[in-house]
Amino acid sequence: MMAGPLKRFLLGDPLHNREAMHQRLSNPVALAVFSSDALSSVAYAPHEIMLMLALAGTAALSLTLPIAVAIGVLLVIVVLSYRQTIREYPGGGGSYIVAKENLGTIPGLVAAASLLVDYILTVAVSISAAVAAITSALPQLLPYTVPIAIGFVLLLAVANLRGVKESGAIFAGPTFAFIVLIGVMVIVGLVRFATGDPFSVPAPAHPIEAVQSLSLFLVLKAFASGCTAMTGVEAIANGVQAFRQPEDKNASTTLTWMAGILLFLFTGIVLLSTLAGVQPSETETVISQLSREMFGTGAIYYVISASVAAILVLAANTAYADFPRLSSFVADDDFLPHQLRDRGHRLVFSNGIILLTIAAIVLLVAFGGVTTRLIPLYAVGVFLSFTLSQAGMVRHHLRIRERGWQRSLAINAVGATATGIVTLVIATAKFTHGAWIVLILIPAIVGIFLWVRRQYDRVHKDLAIRPDEYADLDWQSYNRMHNHVIVLVKAIDRRLVRTLRYARTLQADRIEAVFVDIDGTGAAFRKRWDKAGFGIKLTVIDSPYREILGPIMEFIRAVPRPTNDHVVTVILPEYAPENIGDALLHDQTSLLLKQQLFGAPGVILTDVPYHINEPCTPLACALPQKQEQR
């Protein structure tokens, strides 16, 4: 566990639960947080199209612009479709929620797995492309590609652990700087061509030679590479609840702005590259070639290169905004470990951020931080999730038939058809280049989801209290001992029944149950407790900063112990894991409590483990007579 002072130094002070609404994002900041992935693709998508077309020789590069236009049309279709999704599902969750509710559990899990894989790849691809932009300007740094990339990932992780609003404020400046700089470069370049002051980028020292003939399949492969420009489009639909109220309206407005900016920058860069005769290079990006020819290698060139590197690093922030949020939705449905739904120190899903960071670093190391090696894995997952989301919306409109459903149905049907075709194109064109890895990985992740759900279902079923098992404890007073018994309560289930039965066998002056309210559910829990009629007093401790250990320790220390003969017995109801899977899926709070309580003077710690399928004897299961504690 991170030491308190270091944690506060890196992440700042903890945020109170009531500050959650104040962490919502304004539209400009949300544009920076959720759109950086899509906008950053301007830096590498044109380059990837050209690299693929160059296999057929220089003449084939003339197809770059038509391919870019086709991608632009597809972008408009997808954005219109996602506006429908935001309107109908303002609670967020995007493709996962839409597909699960309308197409079924398995399609929903496929969408979730596809997006989670895509978010991991977003971090890896964006960071590797950022390092490529840096090494284009500073070739001497090329041998340090992987360490630089890992450093950027760690910086992003820390920034996001500090909170959504704070990280958004940090990243807004570089994002808008990129938009302005690249926008100005496109406008200046096109104006020069329009006013008779054209320029051209010198051809490389070694001319491009055709290694294969131009074919429809090669064009489709180039189109598939360019479709990486659309990754991140779904991010706003997934994170609607991060916007200020009215969430759906603000999210739709931001999505429209993002699409307009992306369309202008992407097609503008491609048009400018075509006019200037840019040829793809393994060592220099398209934007670097254009800005070097237009502005020389002075300050402006390095400012543009720095802005490209910055937006590519920040593109990974879209994944950091959505991966933890999507993981929490899936964990809420018991398909991922529950630890992923817990908000941390700064009201963010810290465990999801940490998991994403580890996965991205593994990818960067495995592929050497080279963008071109990672690109074939990219876009398959996101277009699969596009298709499932839009197909789900088609089913939604047919089922609900809300006002104007025919128009919405047409939009989503076109979106589902278009993205479905593109999914097949990308999977086929990129299969031998690495897309097969993703096509195997997605079903494997769905299998993990289902395994996790089976584990939780098995435990929930066994822990559910049968009607005859609600304990109404027979209270007796014993004057021979001074023992204050505290039962730490997390849930009302069979673990609790067994624990309360054990507690009543002790010689105790007082028995009380303690529940730590970390998420505002204390009142509801008290109602359930009172309804159960256990006959034991329940104390609810409010913990707005979501701390568990501290409030419990303070409560125990506050129990009066006038002499050494007075002790406090703390009883922990526990589920005894049967295997490694169970141990990983259930939190380890009790272990931390034991460490804290072991050295506390006058405190006796007792575990009451509950084992699956443990036999329930007639004596143990007998329902005691109801009697209130005095």
Q: Is residue 296 part of a domain?
A: yes
Q: How many degrees, rounded to 5, is the angle at CA 325 between CA 322 and CA 326?
A: 80
Torsion from C-alpha of 183, 189, 190, 196, nearest 10 degrees: 160
Quote the percentage of the chain above a pLDDT of 70: 87
Same domain for 336 and 426? yes
Same domain for 113 and 57? yes
CATH number at residue 90: 1.20.1740.10
Model confidence band, residue 624 (pLDDT cutoffs 50, 70, 90): very low
Model confidence band, residue 8 (pLDDT cutoffs 50, 70, 90): low
Q: How many degrees, rounded to 5, is the angle at CA 349 between CA 99 and CA 236?
A: 45
- For the ranges 497-506, 519-528, 560-569, which has the lowest average pLDDT? 560-569
Model confidence band, residue 11 (pLDDT cutoffs 50, 70, 90): low
Residues 386-429: tens digit of each pLDDT: 899 889 999 998 988 888 888 888 888 988 888 888 888 888 87
Distance CA(112)–CA(67), nearest Å, equals 29
Distance CA(575)–CA(499), nearest Å, equals 11
Q: Residue 471: what pLDDT?
A: 55
Residue-range definition of the domain harbouring residue 586? 467-621
pLDDT of 253 > 70? The answer is yes
Which tokens in the block code for residue 495?
Answer: 């673990």
pLDDT of 275 > 80? The answer is yes
Distance CA(239)–CA(86), nearest Å, equals 10
Burial 179-202, CB ≥16 within 10 A → b, else e = bebbeebbeebeebeeeeeeeebe
Query: What mean pLDDT do residues 146-152 have?
Result: 90
Residues 68-125: tens digit of each pLDDT: 999 999 899 888 888 888 888 887 667 888 899 999 999 999 999 998 998 898 888 8
Q: Residue 168: what pLDDT?
A: 60
Q: Residue 468: what pLDDT?
A: 67
Summary mean pLDDT of the chain: 82
Q: Residue 214: what pLDDT?
A: 87
Same domain for 386 and 488? no
pLDDT of 583 > 80? The answer is no
Q: Residue 475: what pLDDT?
A: 47
pLDDT of 627 > 70? The answer is no
Same domain for 432 and 530? no
Same domain for 360 and 505? no
Q: Residue 618: what pLDDT?
A: 43
Residues 293-317: tens digit of each pLDDT: 898 888 898 899 888 888 877 778 7
pLDDT of 481 > 70? The answer is no
- Please tell me the total count of domains within the chain: 2
Same domain for 217 and 335? yes
Q: Is residue 608 part of a domain?
A: yes
CATH number at residue 536: 3.40.50
Q: Is residue 462 part of a domain?
A: no
Model confidence band, residue 246 (pLDDT cutoffs 50, 70, 90): confident
User: How would you class 71 by CB atoms within 10 Å of its CB: exposed for 0-12, middle for 13-18, buried for 19 or more?
Assistant: buried
Q: Residue 9: what pLDDT?
A: 54
Q: Is residue 627 part of a domain?
A: no
Q: Which residue has the tokens 């290169």?
A: 305
Which tokens in the block code for residue 223?
Answer: 């189109």
pLDDT of 577 > 80? The answer is no
In sequence order, the β-bridge partners of residue 606 are: 571
Domain edge (last residue) among 424, 454, 484: 454
